[in-house]
Amino acid sequence: MSFHLYGAEGQKALPPITLNERINDPALYLPAPGLVSAVNVALNLGLPLLLTGEPGTGKTQLAYHIAHYFSLGEVLVFNAQTTSSTKDLFYRYDALGHFQHSQTQAEALSPDEIERRYVRYQALGAAIRSEQRRLVLIDEVDKAPRDLPNDILAALERLEFDVPEIDKSYATSKDNRPIIIMTSNSEKNLPEPFLRRVAFYHIDFPTAQELLHILQRKVEG
Protein backbone atom coordinates (compact mmCIF):
# COMPACT_ATOMS: atom_id res chain seq x y z
CA MET A 1 0.00 0.00 0.00
CA SER A 2 1.35 3.41 -0.97
CA PHE A 3 0.67 6.47 1.17
CA HIS A 4 0.09 9.97 -0.18
CA LEU A 5 1.72 12.53 2.08
CA TYR A 6 1.59 16.29 1.90
CA GLY A 7 5.11 17.72 1.67
CA ALA A 8 6.66 14.68 -0.02
CA GLU A 9 9.33 15.50 -2.60
CA GLY A 10 7.89 15.73 -6.12
CA GLN A 11 4.47 14.29 -5.15
CA LYS A 12 1.28 16.20 -5.98
CA ALA A 13 -1.36 13.50 -6.41
CA LEU A 14 -4.17 13.46 -3.87
CA PRO A 15 -5.04 10.23 -2.06
CA PRO A 16 -8.18 8.35 -3.10
CA ILE A 17 -11.20 9.01 -0.92
CA THR A 18 -12.51 5.95 0.89
CA LEU A 19 -15.74 6.50 2.80
CA ASN A 20 -16.44 4.41 5.86
CA GLU A 21 -20.21 3.79 5.80
CA ARG A 22 -20.07 2.47 9.35
CA ILE A 23 -19.30 5.92 10.78
CA ASN A 24 -22.96 6.96 10.63
CA ASP A 25 -24.50 3.49 10.89
CA PRO A 26 -27.41 3.94 13.35
CA ALA A 27 -27.11 0.30 14.42
CA LEU A 28 -23.67 1.04 15.90
CA TYR A 29 -24.78 3.90 18.15
CA LEU A 30 -23.75 3.29 21.78
CA PRO A 31 -26.12 5.02 24.22
CA ALA A 32 -25.08 5.37 27.85
CA PRO A 33 -27.24 3.50 30.40
CA GLY A 34 -28.72 6.78 31.63
CA LEU A 35 -29.70 7.74 28.09
CA VAL A 36 -31.37 4.35 27.58
CA SER A 37 -33.43 5.02 30.71
CA ALA A 38 -34.39 8.49 29.49
CA VAL A 39 -35.54 7.08 26.16
CA ASN A 40 -37.66 4.45 27.89
CA VAL A 41 -39.25 7.06 30.16
CA ALA A 42 -40.13 9.22 27.15
CA LEU A 43 -41.56 6.28 25.18
CA ASN A 44 -43.63 4.85 28.00
CA LEU A 45 -45.03 8.18 29.17
CA GLY A 46 -45.55 9.55 25.67
CA LEU A 47 -43.30 12.54 26.33
CA PRO A 48 -40.95 14.35 23.97
CA LEU A 49 -37.29 13.73 24.79
CA LEU A 50 -35.11 16.83 25.07
CA LEU A 51 -31.37 16.25 24.65
CA THR A 52 -28.65 18.73 25.52
CA GLY A 53 -24.89 18.45 25.20
CA GLU A 54 -21.92 19.77 23.31
CA PRO A 55 -21.88 19.46 19.50
CA GLY A 56 -20.60 16.03 18.54
CA THR A 57 -21.97 14.15 21.55
CA GLY A 58 -24.50 12.23 19.46
CA LYS A 59 -27.76 14.09 20.13
CA THR A 60 -28.92 13.99 16.52
CA GLN A 61 -27.63 10.47 15.89
CA LEU A 62 -29.77 9.11 18.72
CA ALA A 63 -32.87 9.91 16.68
CA TYR A 64 -31.61 7.83 13.77
CA HIS A 65 -30.64 5.01 16.15
CA ILE A 66 -34.13 4.86 17.67
CA ALA A 67 -35.81 5.00 14.25
CA HIS A 68 -33.60 2.12 13.13
CA TYR A 69 -34.15 0.14 16.33
CA PHE A 70 -37.96 0.31 16.10
CA SER A 71 -38.15 0.21 12.26
CA LEU A 72 -39.89 3.60 12.11
CA GLY A 73 -38.67 4.51 8.63
CA GLU A 74 -36.90 7.71 7.66
CA VAL A 75 -36.43 10.29 10.40
CA LEU A 76 -38.57 13.38 9.79
CA VAL A 77 -36.37 16.38 10.54
CA PHE A 78 -37.35 19.94 11.40
CA ASN A 79 -34.42 22.35 11.73
CA ALA A 80 -35.58 25.12 14.04
CA GLN A 81 -34.72 28.68 13.01
CA THR A 82 -35.12 32.06 14.68
CA THR A 83 -37.99 32.75 12.26
CA SER A 84 -39.78 29.41 12.71
CA SER A 85 -43.51 29.54 13.39
CA THR A 86 -45.92 26.91 14.65
CA LYS A 87 -47.30 26.43 11.14
CA ASP A 88 -43.80 25.60 9.89
CA LEU A 89 -43.85 22.45 12.04
CA PHE A 90 -46.72 21.15 9.92
CA TYR A 91 -46.51 22.54 6.40
CA ARG A 92 -45.32 25.32 4.14
CA TYR A 93 -47.52 26.94 1.54
CA ASP A 94 -46.07 28.51 -1.60
CA ALA A 95 -48.42 31.48 -1.71
CA LEU A 96 -46.35 33.30 -4.33
CA GLY A 97 -46.33 30.34 -6.69
CA HIS A 98 -50.07 29.88 -6.30
CA PHE A 99 -50.67 33.59 -6.87
CA GLN A 100 -48.55 33.63 -10.03
CA HIS A 101 -50.50 30.67 -11.39
CA SER A 102 -53.85 32.32 -10.67
CA GLN A 103 -52.70 35.47 -12.54
CA THR A 104 -51.70 33.59 -15.70
CA GLN A 105 -54.31 30.79 -15.84
CA ALA A 106 -58.04 31.31 -16.24
CA GLU A 107 -59.07 27.99 -14.70
CA ALA A 108 -58.90 27.78 -10.92
CA LEU A 109 -57.15 24.82 -9.33
CA SER A 110 -58.95 22.29 -7.16
CA PRO A 111 -57.91 22.00 -3.50
CA ASP A 112 -56.22 18.68 -4.27
CA GLU A 113 -54.24 20.25 -7.09
CA ILE A 114 -53.25 23.22 -4.91
CA GLU A 115 -52.09 20.77 -2.26
CA ARG A 116 -50.03 18.79 -4.76
CA ARG A 117 -48.36 21.83 -6.27
CA TYR A 118 -48.01 24.37 -3.48
CA VAL A 119 -48.22 22.65 -0.07
CA ARG A 120 -45.14 20.95 1.36
CA TYR A 121 -45.69 19.00 4.56
CA GLN A 122 -42.97 19.39 7.17
CA ALA A 123 -41.79 16.97 9.85
CA LEU A 124 -44.67 17.02 12.35
CA GLY A 125 -47.30 17.43 9.65
CA ALA A 126 -45.87 14.52 7.66
CA ALA A 127 -45.84 12.37 10.82
CA ILE A 128 -49.50 13.13 11.57
CA ARG A 129 -50.48 12.39 7.95
CA SER A 130 -48.53 9.14 7.97
CA GLU A 131 -50.40 5.85 8.35
CA GLN A 132 -47.71 4.53 10.68
CA ARG A 133 -45.84 5.78 13.73
CA ARG A 134 -42.92 8.02 12.85
CA LEU A 135 -40.02 9.70 14.62
CA VAL A 136 -39.71 13.48 14.42
CA LEU A 137 -36.40 15.18 15.16
CA ILE A 138 -36.68 18.87 16.05
CA ASP A 139 -33.08 19.98 15.87
CA GLU A 140 -31.73 22.95 17.86
CA VAL A 141 -35.08 23.87 19.34
CA ASP A 142 -33.37 26.56 21.41
CA LYS A 143 -32.93 28.61 18.23
CA ALA A 144 -36.68 28.89 17.75
CA PRO A 145 -38.86 31.75 19.06
CA ARG A 146 -39.66 31.35 22.74
CA ASP A 147 -43.31 30.32 22.19
CA LEU A 148 -42.54 27.51 19.74
CA PRO A 149 -41.54 24.80 22.28
CA ASN A 150 -44.86 25.21 24.11
CA ASP A 151 -46.68 25.15 20.77
CA ILE A 152 -45.03 21.81 20.01
CA LEU A 153 -46.47 20.33 23.21
CA ALA A 154 -49.93 21.71 22.44
CA ALA A 155 -49.76 20.19 18.95
CA LEU A 156 -48.85 16.80 20.41
CA GLU A 157 -51.89 16.91 22.67
CA ARG A 158 -54.22 17.58 19.73
CA LEU A 159 -52.51 15.33 17.18
CA GLU A 160 -54.21 17.32 14.42
CA PHE A 161 -53.70 20.42 12.31
CA ASP A 162 -55.56 22.52 9.74
CA VAL A 163 -54.49 23.67 6.28
CA PRO A 164 -56.88 26.60 5.69
CA GLU A 165 -55.43 27.36 2.24
CA ILE A 166 -57.11 24.16 0.95
CA ASP A 167 -59.81 23.82 3.63
CA LYS A 168 -58.45 20.52 4.91
CA SER A 169 -57.63 19.06 8.31
CA TYR A 170 -55.44 16.13 9.26
CA ALA A 171 -55.35 14.07 12.42
CA THR A 172 -53.84 10.86 13.71
CA SER A 173 -54.67 8.37 16.43
CA LYS A 174 -52.96 8.02 19.79
CA ASP A 175 -51.54 4.70 18.59
CA ASN A 176 -49.69 6.58 15.86
CA ARG A 177 -48.51 9.38 18.15
CA PRO A 178 -45.17 10.59 16.74
CA ILE A 179 -42.05 10.02 18.81
CA ILE A 180 -40.47 13.44 19.32
CA ILE A 181 -36.78 14.02 19.97
CA MET A 182 -35.57 17.58 20.42
CA THR A 183 -31.98 18.77 20.65
CA SER A 184 -30.64 21.93 22.22
CA ASN A 185 -27.19 23.47 22.28
CA SER A 186 -28.30 25.60 25.25
CA GLU A 187 -27.78 28.83 23.34
CA LYS A 188 -30.70 30.28 25.29
CA ASN A 189 -32.92 29.13 28.14
CA LEU A 190 -36.09 27.25 27.27
CA PRO A 191 -39.41 28.10 28.99
CA GLU A 192 -39.89 26.50 32.40
CA PRO A 193 -43.43 25.20 31.63
CA PHE A 194 -41.97 23.43 28.60
CA LEU A 195 -39.13 21.84 30.58
CA ARG A 196 -41.61 20.45 33.12
CA ARG A 197 -43.48 18.57 30.38
CA VAL A 198 -40.66 16.74 28.63
CA ALA A 199 -38.20 13.98 29.44
CA PHE A 200 -34.69 15.42 29.65
CA TYR A 201 -31.17 14.05 29.34
CA HIS A 202 -27.78 15.76 29.10
CA ILE A 203 -25.24 13.84 27.02
CA ASP A 204 -21.74 14.31 28.37
CA PHE A 205 -18.82 14.31 25.97
CA PRO A 206 -17.25 10.80 26.02
CA THR A 207 -14.04 10.17 27.90
CA ALA A 208 -10.92 9.23 25.95
CA GLN A 209 -11.51 5.56 26.69
CA GLU A 210 -15.19 5.73 25.68
CA LEU A 211 -14.30 7.60 22.49
CA LEU A 212 -11.71 4.96 21.59
CA HIS A 213 -14.31 2.22 22.12
CA ILE A 214 -16.78 4.07 19.87
CA LEU A 215 -14.21 4.51 17.11
CA GLN A 216 -13.10 0.87 17.28
CA ARG A 217 -16.70 -0.25 16.93
CA LYS A 218 -17.20 1.90 13.86
CA VAL A 219 -13.99 1.07 11.99
CA GLU A 220 -13.79 -2.64 12.66
CA GLY A 221 -15.86 -4.45 10.04
Domain ranges, ordered by start, for the chain? 30-219
Q: Which stretches in the chain have pLDDT values below 70?
A: 1-13, 15, 17-20, 213-221
The dihedral formed by the CA atoms of 79, 83, 89 and 90, expressed in degrees to the nearest 10: -130
In whole angstroms, what is the distance from residue 34 CA to residue 36 CA? 5
Just give the CATH number of 30-219.
3.40.50.300
Tens of pLDDT, residues 8-40: 666 666 767 666 677 778 878 888 899 999 999
- Please tell me the predicted confidence (pLDDT) of residue 7: 62
In whole angstroms, what is the distance from residue 65 CA to residue 6 CA? 37
The dihedral formed by the CA atoms of 128, 130, 132 and 137, expressed in degrees to the nearest 10: -60
